[in-house]
Amino acid sequence: MQYLLLCYVDDEKRSYNLSGDEGRALYGSYVAYRQALQDAGVFVGSNALQAVSTATQVRVSDGKTTVLDGPYPDTKEQLGGYFLIEAPDLDSALAWAARCPAATEGTVEVRPIMPTPVSV
Amino acid sequence: MSAAPAYDAAERAAREGYGKLVAFLAARCGDVDAAEDALADAFTTALERWPADGVPRNPEAWLLVAARRRFVDRVRRERSADRAHDRLTDAARDAQAAFERGEMIDDERLALIFACAHPAIARELRAPLILQTILGLDAARIASAFLTSPATMSQRLVRAKRKIAAAHIPLRIPPDENLAERLDGVLDALYAAFAAGWSDPIGDDPHTHGLAFEAIWLARLVAASCPDEPETLGLLALMLHADARRDARRDATGAYVPLDDQDPTRWDAAAIDEAEALLARAARGNRIGRFQLEAAIQSAYAVRRFGHDPDRSAIVAFYDALLARTNSPVVAINRAMALGRLHGPNAALAALDAAATDPRLATYQPYWAARADALARTGNPTAAHDAYTRALGLTVDPAIRRFLTARATREGGAPPPDNRRSTPERWRSG
C-alpha cells in the first residue's frame, strides 16, 4: 500500500538559501529523513518543489486554453514537496509522516494512493 | 424498545453474533462496508425470527449460513474484480470451516472498535460508527440520537467506512506504546454514545434515555477485553451509577426529580454495587483519570442509600481535579453547584460568574438552571425568575420544561404561555 506524504510549509520561511545555518540545518534534516525512509525500505520517491511564486496554471474549457500566473492562495502553508512511501497500513504511514521535518515546520497530509483498477 | 425479556435476549444474541461476524470478516478483507453488506439480510431475518423461534445454538454459524446466498450474489456481481471481495469470500469460508469443526471464531470486535475510534476518523463520527458496525444499529436510529437527519448520518457513515478501507486504517488492537492514548478515543466515543439523546446524561428522561443501554453493553465488552485499564472500569462505573438512578429521576406523575430530592430506595442497588466494585478495582491500578473522577462523584452521592449525607467537600475536591484535567465548562457548572452546597449560594454564583467567560454557556440550559437555583437560594426571586426563564427557553425535554416552569412560577409570576424565550419584562408586567 502506497501513501503520498504531501508537505505543506510556509513558502516565505522555506529557505532556498542553503548558505545560512538555518537553511543548512533544515536541508540536512530532510536529507536525513529521506535516508531513514530508504534504510527502512519504505521509500518510493520524493521531490521538493520551487516556491509557489514560480507556478503557472493551465485550464482548458470549450477548446480554449487559458494560461494564468499563479495561483495566489490566501493560506500561508503551500505544497512544498512530497514523499511517496510504501507502508502496510495508515498507522505506519502516520508514524512516518510524524517524523517528516515538514510536520514540525508545517503540516503533512497523508493520502492513500488509489490502487490501479483491474483492466476490463 | 420492547420490554419482553425473550425479545431482548433474542435481539441481544443477534447483535452479538452480527458484531462478531462483521469484525471477523472486516479484519480479513479490510472493508467494513462489504462485511456489513454481506450480513445485512441474514441479520434482518435473525431479528425477525429469533424472538419467536428461539436463538440458535451457534448464532454466528446460523448468520453465516443465512448470508451465503448474498455472498455468492455479490461475488458474481463484482466478478471478483476487487481483491477485497476475494478476501471476504475467503474469510467467510474460514469462518464456515471453524463452525464445522465445532469451534467459535475469535471475537475481534475490540479491534474493530479501535478502527472506528481511530484518530483519522472525525471525532463526532466515532460513536455512530461503533454503534453501527458492532451493534448493527441503523442510521435512522443513530441519527435521531445524535440530532441529525438519517440521510446525513447515513452518508457520513458510508464515507467513514470507505476511508477505513481506502486508507487501510488497521483493524487491530494498538500496540502497548499507543494503547493508552488510543483507548482514550474509544472511551470518549462510548461516553458520547451513552450521552447521545440526553441533554444531561446524569439526570434526564428515562424513556428517551438515548443509547445508554447500548453504550453500557459496549463498555462491558471493552472492559472485559481491557480489564487492567482503570479508565475503562471508571467509565463503566460512571454509566452504571447514572443508569441506576434512571427510575428515580421521575416521580409518579412523570415530573423531573433533581438528584438531591430523589428517593434512594428507587435506585437500582445491584447496579450501584457493581459500579462501586468496578471503581474499587480501578483504584488499584493507581492511575486516576477523568472517568474515574466522574464515577467517584456519583459514588459520593450514592451514600444516601445508607442514610448518610454526601461528603460535600470530597465532591468539590473531585470536581476541582476534574476541572484541572478537562477545563470543560460543563464540569465548571457542576463544580459551582457542588460548591454552593458546601459554602452557600454566593460561592456558587461567584464560581458561575467565573465560568461564564465561556461564550457557549449563553445557550447552555444547565448553566441557566444552575444560576437560577443559586439566585433563588440567595433570596433574589426576580433574578432567579429571569434565569429560570432563560433555562426554560433552551430545554428540549418536556419533563425538565415542566420542572423549570414550576420553579419559575415559584419565583414570581407565570412564565410565558408558549414556553418560548421572550424578554422577562414583557410577561412580568403582563
Percentage above 90 pLDDT, chain A: 65
- Measured between CA atoms, the residue of chain B closest to residue A109 is B120
Per-residue model confidence (pLDDT) at position A71? 82
Interface test with B, best of A90, A118, A120 (most B CBs within 10 A): A90
Instruction: Give the range among A6-10, A50-54, B195-199, B327-331 with minimum mean pLDDT.
Output: B195-199
- What pLDDT score was predicted for residue A60? 94
DSSP track, A52-95: GGG-EEEEEETTEEEEEE----S-SEEEEEEEEEE-SSHHHHHH
Give the chain B residue nearest A118 (alpha carbons). B81
Judge whether A88 and B168 are in contact, CB under 8 Å: yes
Q: Does B174 touch chain A (CB under 8 A)?
A: yes
Nearest-Cα residue of chain A relative to residue B169: A90
Report chain A residues whose CB lies below 8 A from the CB of B170: 88-91
> What is the pLDDT of chain A when averaged over all its residues?
89
Nearest to B301 by CA among B287, B291, B311, B293: B311
Which among A90, A114, A118 has the least Cβ separation from residue B168?
A90
> Greater confidence, B340 or B211?
B340
Among B77-91, B213-227, B379-393, which is the least confidently predicted range? B77-91
Q: Is the pLDDT of residue B31 over 70?
A: yes
Tally of CB atoms within 10 A around B254: 12
Q: What is the pLDDT of residues B91-100, one digit of tens each?
A: 888 888 888 8
CB B218 within 8 A of CB B135: yes
Per-residue confidence band for B206, with pLDDT thresholds at 50, 70 and 90: very low
What is the distance of C-alpha B14 from the center of its chain? 21
**CATH 3.30.70.1060, applies to A2-112:** yes
Residues in contact with B168: Cβ distance below 8 Å, sequence separation at least 6, in sequence order = A1, A88, A89, A90, A112, B30
Average pLDDT over residues A87-98: 95
- Cα B344 from Cα B259, distance rounded (Å): 18
A-to-B residue pairs, Cβ atoms closer than 8 angstroms: 26
Spans of all domains in chain A: 2-112
Confidence of residue A14 (pLDDT cuts 50, 70, 90): low
Q: Please tell me the distance from the alpha carbon of residue A93 to that of residue B210, in angstroms, as a whole number.
A: 37
Q: Is B172 helix (H, G, I), strand (E, B) or coil?
A: coil
A46 phi and psi angles, rounded to 5 deg: -160, 155
Amino acid symbol at A92: S
Other C-beta atoms closer than 10 Å to the C-beta of B145 total 23
Q: How far apart are CA B346 and CA B353, in angstroms?
A: 10
Tell me the β-bridge partners of A111. Answer: A4
Cβ partners under 8 Å of residue B238, min gap 6: B191, B275, B291, B294, B295, B298
Mutate to test the interface with B, among A89, A96, A109, A111 (most CBs of B within 10 A): A89
| B324–chain A Cβ distance below 8 A for any pair | no
Per-residue pLDDT tens for B242-292? 999 988 988 888 888 889 899 999 999 999 999 999 999 999 999 999 999
Distance (Å, whole) CA B285 – CA B202:
26
CA geometry: angle at B290 spanning B287 and B293, to 5°?
Answer: 80
pLDDT number for residue B421: 42
Query: In the predicted model, what is the mean pLDDT of chain B?
Result: 87
The model's confidence at residue B198, banded by pLDDT at 50, 70 and 90, is: low
How confident is the model at residue A25, as a pLDDT? 84
pLDDT by residue (tens digit) across A51-82?
888 889 999 999 999 998 888 777 889 999 99
B158 band by pLDDT with thresholds 50, 70 and 90: very high
* Entry field: residues in chain A: 120
- pLDDT over 70 at B200, yes or no: no
Residue B140 near residue B128, CB atoms below 8 Å = no
Q: Which residues lie across from A69 on neighbouring strands?
A: A56
DSSP-based three-state secondary structure for B276:
helix
Q: Is A91 in Cβ contact with B174 (below 8 Å)?
A: yes
The type of residue at B247 is D
In angstroms, rounded to a whole number, what is the distance separating the alpha carbons of residues B298 and B338?
12
What grid cell was written down for B280? 474499587
ipTM: 0.78
Please give the average per-residue pLDDT across B229-244, as a whole number: 95
Q: What is the pLDDT of residue B427?
A: 33
High-pLDDT (> 70) share of chain B, % = 89
Is residue B430 very low, low, confident or very high in pLDDT (cuts 50, 70, 90)? very low
Q: Are B412 and B381 in contact (CB under 8 A)?
A: yes
**What per-residue confidence (pLDDT) applies to B328?**
87
Q: Does B167 touch chain A (CB under 8 A)?
A: yes
Residues 6+ apart with CB under 8 A from B392: B401, B404, B405, B408, B415, B419, B421
